[in-house]
Structure 1
Amino acid sequence: MTDFPTLSWPEADGPHSARWRSEAAVPPAKRVVIADDRTTADAAYRLACEGTALLWRGDFQNARQLLQAMTRRLERKPRKQAASPLDAFNLHRQAQAQRARTLGMLLIPLEGDYTIPLRRAPSVQEACEEVYGPPTHEPSIVSLRELLGLIGAHEWRKKGVEIPALQERIHPHYGVFSPVRGEYVDLVARTPLPSLEKAFDIGVGTGVLSAVLAKRGVKRIVATDQDPRALACAKENLTRLGYERQVEIIAADLFPEGRAPLVVCNPPWVPARPASPIENAVYDYENRMLLGFLNGLADHLEPGGEGWLILSDFAEHLGMRARDWLLAAIDNAGLTVAGREDIKPRHPKATDATDPLHTARVAEVTSLWRLKAK
């Protein structure tokens, strides 16, 4: 009995099936047809919109062009007008979900060693191994959209993201939140440290904040995460940067044991339900991580210590979380605000007037809240 989903499709000699791969936990399509270089973009788009997947048998580069053509057809659809910032966010997520569903219907076969048995196909073995693990020597099927995402993530991992505060690069792994927005890193780099003895980094991700603290001279840092990919990513980055002796990385849901004079946390900023496992790095459903950090902080601070909560007010401008709610949550957790450092976003979307969430992005401020136990 298999412990993974399978995709089935008709062939001339009867039904065939193979392992279905989806990092977004998308179930395999129930209807599948064979497509090749003769398949038109209009036909492919119509089938995809109807929920029929197309298993590609033609030239790989033609499949990429077909996906681009399907994308253009999606982008022609007029946007619904939003009545409020929250409505705009919900419509934006609906459009993203529809886009993912439709474009995810173009499928590519993989051999057991992760080679693509198509003309002009690139080598993707290394990218696949980084995400799927060692080859299982069994054929599988993946959406072209996901496969291109794996390739892009592999290139990001090789190239890395320049972090001015470190004067180094951080190399994000697939599925781990990438520090492309440097504002929150700058806040941690410039805020006066309460101590150089010890710090906790809650939700280590790529390890970027642990690296900044280590560079600033914090002697011992305990960094936690519950995502195996984040733990591996942080360990790789901190070892590359030479901070492996200063930083201990452990698997934990929020806090490690003990107390520290500094506890840092940068939770996902938007309290929405993740649509897939990979979105857990972006959305904090029902403020779970935020409240978990606040409610446990006092018990993990040394006397006089500080908890640094790095949080954008983007959700406030969307109408998803009120400032009064945040202040009440801080107070109810037995904490007081000792100070706050603010910074405006610098990312391109902040100045893109065509972005459906432009109103909220223009007003956004990212803050480092310095919290102390009462």
Structure 2
Amino acid sequence: MSVVSALSAVRWTENGTPFSAPWHSENEAPVPARVVAVDDRTTAKAAYRMAREGTGLLWRGDFHNARQLLRAMDRLHQRSHPVPTADDAATLFHRHRAARAKRSGLLGRLLVVLEPDHSLGLRRAPDVREACDQAYGLVDGDPAAADDGTCVSLTELVGVLSAYEWHKRGVEIGALGARIHPAYGVFSPVRGEYIDLVAKAPFPDDAAPPVVFDLGTGTGVLAAVLARRGAGRVVATDINPRAVACARENMRRLGLADRVQVREADLWPSGRADLIVCNPPWLPARPTSALELGIYDPDSDLLRRFLDGLVDHLNPAGEAWLILSDLAEHLGLRTREELLARFTAAGLRIAGRSDTAPQHPRATDTADLLHEARRREVTSLWRLVRG
């Protein structure tokens, strides 16, 4: 994936000279209509005022001062915006998301320019080249990048750097006895409870399935667990090219590339399988960026397509494992009755279910606005067969 967007450019003037650079935004934020150059002399109040007016602030000062300015702008924003409240969980959820989107848009107006080689020409700036190469792809041979570099928000760049540290470190997966290395833009398997469900669920007829489909594989973690459990052949799919590349690299690291085929596809590969596994996004809401596709599923579209396609892709004695949190139910976004009705409408019946409580820190964070719903959350592995 190229970092450069040929469809839009950031334009500004410095010392009477006009400049421009291609604009790139992972959350598809529009290019700022007005951009001014700012530096260490710019106060947080002035920066916050301009950002609120929609002005993009192109940073030309010290990198660490830019990080401090971003934090100061965030504090000013929080002071002037009360914490959302609501009488019901669904309304609170939507208000909370709207508030976060507004905050993200405002802080995203502090901008930096990456040089053609993805370096950052600011004082005391870290070496961001490897992180940006990993996130955006190499730009060698791209004439637009070679001429102009690329403009991104500082918040996005900070996210790229954080993701690269996760990528280098990897995430320890107990069920594998090894690490999975997530890539930028690919959902990280930090919630180990759903992995343990897959690691412990009994195979159909207590025999390792000859063919397994892992739909929406992400990092490939579930495909790897199933292969290590003895599955004959695992076909893992994902619509996200970054996820496909990430999963392939993880299979190579784990020595499973000969048993796990990773394909770019919108959910379904061709053929049938003895076991089909899917851990879809668990909240039926619209994502605000490609980075949220692992969490939000508009109108439960992916869930519905998974269930509706099972009868046509399962072998007669096969089984499907749906790994799904019930957080949506506690937030008033979907009912248990609606989920069960979807099973029936798809010609499926429940052969069994395993449950687990969340282990992630947010489940016990009382400061989280959605704490009450998260506290009651249960993640289930539904074993589904033909009805």
TM-score tier, shorter chain, comes to: over 0.9
Shift of 1:238: 0.9
In the alignment, does 2:115 pair up with 1:131?
Answer: no
Shift of 1:329: 0.5
Which digits, 9 at most, give the CA deviation of each residue in 1:106-153, with x for residues without a partner? 111211111111111111111111122213323221111101111111
**CA–CA distance in structure 2, aligned partners of residues 21 and 286 of structure 1:** 28
Shift of 1:213: 0.3
Shift of 1:198: 1.8
Shift of 1:246: 1.0
Equivalent position of 1:186 in the other structure: 196
**CA–CA distance in structure 2, aligned partners of residues 190 and 139 of structure 1:** 49
**CA–CA distance in structure 1, aligned partners of residues 162 and 373 of structure 2:** 28
Quick check: 1:29–1:53 contact (8 Å CA) kept in 2?
Answer: yes
Equivalent position of 1:96 in the other structure: 100
**CA–CA distance in structure 2, aligned partners of residues 357 and 185 of structure 1:** 24
Equivalent position of 1:265 in the other structure: 278
**Which amino acid letter does the alignment assign opposite residue 92 of structure 2?**
A
Equivalent position of 2:334 in the other structure: 321
Shift of 1:260: 1.2
Query: Which region of structure 1 is more displaced relative to structure 2, 205-214 or 31-40?
Result: 31-40
Name structure 1 gaps, 5 residues minimum. none
What SS does the corresponding residue of 1:21 show, helix, strand or coil?
Answer: coil
Shift of 1:277: 2.1
Equivalent position of 1:297 in the other structure: 310
**CA–CA distance in structure 1, aligned partners of residues 77 and 331 of structure 2:** 25
In the alignment, does 2:29 pair up with 1:19?
Answer: no
Which digits, 9 at most, give the CA deviation of each residue in 1:244-266, with x for residues without a partner? 11111112211211111110000
What SS does the corresponding residue of 2:23 show, helix, strand or coil?
Answer: strand
**CA–CA distance in structure 1, aligned partners of residues 249 and 136 of structure 2:** 18
**CA–CA distance in structure 2, aligned partners of residues 82 and 160 of structure 1:** 39
Quick check: 1:55–1:107 contact (8 Å CA) kept in 2?
Answer: yes
Shift of 1:11: 2.4
Quick check: 1:341–1:367 contact (8 Å CA) kept in 2?
Answer: yes
**Which amino acid letter does the alignment assign opposite residue 16 of structure 2?**
D
Equivalent position of 1:110 in the other structure: 114
In the alignment, does 2:67 pair up with 1:64?
Answer: yes
Which digits, 9 at most, give the CA deviation of each residue in 1:36-67, with x for residues without a partner? 11111111111112211111111111111111
Quick check: 2:84–2:96 contact (8 Å CA) kept in 1?
Answer: no
What SS does the corresponding residue of 1:142 show, helix, strand or coil?
Answer: strand
- Which of 47, 70, 76 is matched with 1:73 structurally? 76
Shift of 1:16: 1.9
What SS does the corresponding residue of 2:113 show, helix, strand or coil?
Answer: strand
Quick check: 1:36–1:56 contact (8 Å CA) kept in 2?
Answer: yes
**Which amino acid letter does the alignment assign opposite residue 232 of structure 1?**
A
Query: Which region of structure 1 is more displaced relative to structure 2, 205-214 or 189-198?
Result: 189-198
**CA–CA distance in structure 2, aligned partners of residues 80 and 338 of structure 1:** 41
Query: Which region of structure 1 is more displaced relative to structure 2, 305-314 or 49-58?
Result: 49-58
Equivalent position of 1:142 in the other structure: 152
Give the alignment of 1:1-374 within 5 angstroms. Answer: 3-76=6-79, 77-135=81-139, 136-137=145-146, 138-194=148-204, 195-196=207-208, 197-374=210-387
**Which amino acid letter does the alignment assign opposite residue 78 of structure 1?**
P
Quick check: 2:6–2:22 contact (8 Å CA) kept in 1?
Answer: no
Quick check: 1:175–1:281 contact (8 Å CA) kept in 2?
Answer: no
**CA–CA distance in structure 1, aligned partners of residues 78 and 360 of structure 2:** 23
Quick check: 2:227–2:259 contact (8 Å CA) kept in 1?
Answer: yes
Shift of 1:12: 2.5
**Which amino acid letter does the alignment assign opposite residue 71 of structure 1?**
D
Which digits, 9 at most, give the CA deviation of each residue in 1:220-255, with x for residues without a partner? 111111110110000000110011111111122112
TM-score, normalised via structure 1 length: 0.97
What SS does the corresponding residue of 2:117 show, helix, strand or coil?
Answer: coil
What SS does the corresponding residue of 1:291 show, helix, strand or coil?
Answer: helix
**Which amino acid letter does the alignment assign opposite residue 92 of structure 1?**
H
Equivalent position of 2:142 in the other structure: none
Shift of 1:74: 2.3
Which 4+ stretches in 1 moved above 4 angstroms?
A: none
Query: Which region of structure 1 is more displaced relative to structure 2, 16-25 or 173-182?
Result: 16-25
Count of aligned residue pairs for this structure pair: 373
Shift of 1:14: 3.8
**CA–CA distance in structure 2, aligned partners of residues 132 and 255 of structure 1:** 27
